[in-house]
Amino acid sequence: MAKKKQYWLFKSDPDDFSWQDLLESPDQTACWDGVRNYQARNLIRDEMKEGDRVLFYHSQLKPPVVMGTAVIVKESYPDDTAWEEGNKHFDKRASEENPIWQMVDIQAEKEFNFPVSLPEMRETDALEGMMLLKRGSRLSVQPVDAKHFQWIVKRGNRKKA
């Protein structure tokens, strides 16, 4: 059953995992491990499909920016870092039999000519209602409307002067 393509935004603190880290990964592909929030987990487990496109967002920067786009290349499977002793995201309740947490793999698609900044997005009427722009929105993986995704991609990929 063909499903309509969906769009997402993945946040990452670049000190933890950056766009550059993704580009330097084998096949420019990495597993998105360490998500420890149920709402995010449910999106990963139930909603994300191979071929869905992703905005790769650097949080914590001044200003924060969307760096480029990626594609989901592997649908959800257990996040084994959850039961890896000493891992930053270790969860003592998790095990191979009861993984609790899930992850997907993403592959870099295109680096923007111009990273699109948060303040720039905030002042854009066309992005009205976008989850990222809502006050107190901390969800680290979140759905993005197609029209919002397309605006950001167009903006990021515009030709350099």
Partner DNA sequence: GCCAACGTTGGC
Q: Is 21 left (phi over 0), alpha (psi -120 to 50) or beta?
A: alpha
Q: Tell me which stretch binds DNA (CB under 7 A): 24-32, 42-50, 106-114, 138-146.
A: 138-146
Window 22-41: contact mask with DNA (x via CB under 7 A): ---------------xxx--
Residue 148 touches DNA, criterion: CB under 7 A: no
Closest CA to 66 of 12, 140, 26: 12
Contact with DNA (CB under 7 A) among 26, 86, 129, 136: 136
Of the candidate residues 71, 73, 100, 139, the single one contacting DNA (CB under 7 A)? 139
CB nearer to DNA: give 40 or 70: 40
Residue 64 binds to DNA (criterion: CB under 7 A):
yes
The answer to whether the peptide bond before residue 63 is cis (omega within 30 degrees of 0) is yes
Give the DSSP per-residue string, 89-144: T--TT--SSS---EEEEEEEEEEEEEEEEHHHHHT-GGGTT-GGGSTT---SEEE-
Give the interface with DNA as residue ranges (CB under 7 A): 11, 13, 37-39, 59-64, 118-119, 122, 134-140
